[in-house]
Amino acid sequence: MKNIISLNENDKTYPNGLGAIKNRPKILYLEGNIDLLKKPSIAIVGSRDCTEYGYKYANLIAKKIAKNNICIVSGLALRNR
């Protein structure tokens, strides 16, 4: 079973950047290292059914971003190809 963490908007570990958004999520569900929320981050949003081309270039871009010590936030969609 996966270790899913939930944070509400009043939790001290709720990301500061989200706190500044008017209609921010009231609850976040997380999996993984919660300390990464303190790092600079960027979200990658894409299709749940991406093409091979889309997957290739999203992967390339994500690797370059990660090499610059930026946390990548994902909706955790699965690649079914």
What is the tens place of the pLDDT at every residue in 36-72? 888 888 888 877 777 889 889 988 999 999 999 898 8
> Mean of the pLDDT values across residues 14-39?
86
Distance in angstroms (rounded) separating the CA atoms of residues 46 and 33: 23
DSSP 8-state symbol, 79: P
* pTM for the structure as a whole: 0.60
Residue ranges per structural domain of the chain: 1-33, 39-81
Residue 38 sits at φ, ψ, to 5 deg, of -85, -10
Distance in angstroms (rounded) separating the CA atoms of residues 26 and 18: 10
> Mean of the pLDDT values across residues 13-27?
87
Residue 3 · residue 31 · CB < 8 Å: yes
